[in-house]
Each structure stands twice: as C-alpha cells, then as structure tokens.
C-alpha cells in the first residue's frame, strides 16, 4: 500500500511538471500587442525583434536616425486571416509627428505575420514577414 502511494505521488508530480512546460506555439495576440506598445513608446530596438531576420535591420535603421519622432497613437484597425499561406495580415494606423512640427501625420499600412519554426529548438514564433513601410 505504501509503494502504491509513492507511485501515485510520483505520477502526480510528473503530470503537474508537464503541465507547466511551455507550449511550442507562440501567442500571436501577445506578440502583436507587444509590438504596438514598443512602437508607441519608441522602443524600436525591441519592436525590431518581432520582424523576421531579413526585415529586422531595415526597421531598426529607419528609426535609429530620427531623434525627434513622437508617436501619438499606434493601433490595430482590423485583422485578416490568410489560411492558405498561414499568415495573419494586420491593418494598423500610426499617428505621429516629428519636432519641431506639431502637425500630426496619419499613416495606414498592413503587415503580415507568420509563425516561423525554429527546427533546432522545435519552437515556432510569430514574426512580421513584411518590410515596414517608409513613413518618415
């Protein structure tokens, strides 16, 4: 009877440990919200991490040279699912101004996100697979 209890306790510990392991799927909603928040707070280095490796340097370069940029709003207007290509296309609205001007400019654009797999780690991450439009 005591061996059975130890076996039962051991199985419960193993099952609870497995439930705490991270899921291999990445959460798109959290990534998109983090991206928008980082752009809103001018953390372009952090926001660049949401881009695929091919587009990351261009995004960082575009914003590294502008010191007087102020983002007043960055929001998602809608989202379209492209099931065939396995993409999510997000339509954004960015409002900003560049000092010394006080005129707020509005830019609408779309970016496609795709879940990219890392075969070495057997993980998948949502990344933006489009180039960020030239807005400045």
pLDDT in tens, 90-111: 999 999 999 999 899 999 999 9
Q: What is the pLDDT of residue 41?
A: 95
Instruction: Quote the percentage of the chain above a pLDDT of 90.
Output: 58
Residue 124: Cβ-neighbour burial (10 angstroms; 0-12, 13-18, 19+): middle
Q: How many CB atoms lie within 10 A of CB 5?
A: 9
Detail the DSSP E strand segments found in the chain: 69-82, 87-98, 105-118, 123-128
Residue 36, helix vs strand vs coil: helix
Q: How many CB atoms lie within 10 A of CB 14?
A: 10
Residue 34: Cβ-neighbour burial (10 angstroms; 0-12, 13-18, 19+): middle
- Structure confidence at residue 10 as a pLDDT band (50, 70, 90): low
Residue 118, helix vs strand vs coil: strand
Q: Alpha-carbon distance 124 to 113, whole Å?
A: 12
Q: Please give the CATH architecture assigned to the domain spanning 28-75+88-136.
A: Roll (3.10)
Q: Alpha-carbon distance 6 to 31, whole Å?
A: 42
Say if residues 31 and 38 touch (Cβ distance below 8 Å). no
Q: What is the pLDDT of residue 128?
A: 96
Q: Alpha-carbon distance 102 to 111, whole Å?
A: 27
Q: What is the pLDDT of residue 15?
A: 57
């Amino acid at each position: 009877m005591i061996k059975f209890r130890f076996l039962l306790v051991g199985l419960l510990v193993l099952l609870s440990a497995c439930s705490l392991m991270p899921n291999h799927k990445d959460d798109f909603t959290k990534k998109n919200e983090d991206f928008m928040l980082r752009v809103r707070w001018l953390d372009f280095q952090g926001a660049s991490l949401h881009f695929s490796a091919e587009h990351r340097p261009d995004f960082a370069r575009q914003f590294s040279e502008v010191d007087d940029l102020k983002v007043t709003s960055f929001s998602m207007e809608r989202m379209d699912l492209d099931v065939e290509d396995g993409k999510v296309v997000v339509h954004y609205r960015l409002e900003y101004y560049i000092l010394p001007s006080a005129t707020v400019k509005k830019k609408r654009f779309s970016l496609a996100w795709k879940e990219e797999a890392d075969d070495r780690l057997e993980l998948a991450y949502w990344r933006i697979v489009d180039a960020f439009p030239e807005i400045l």
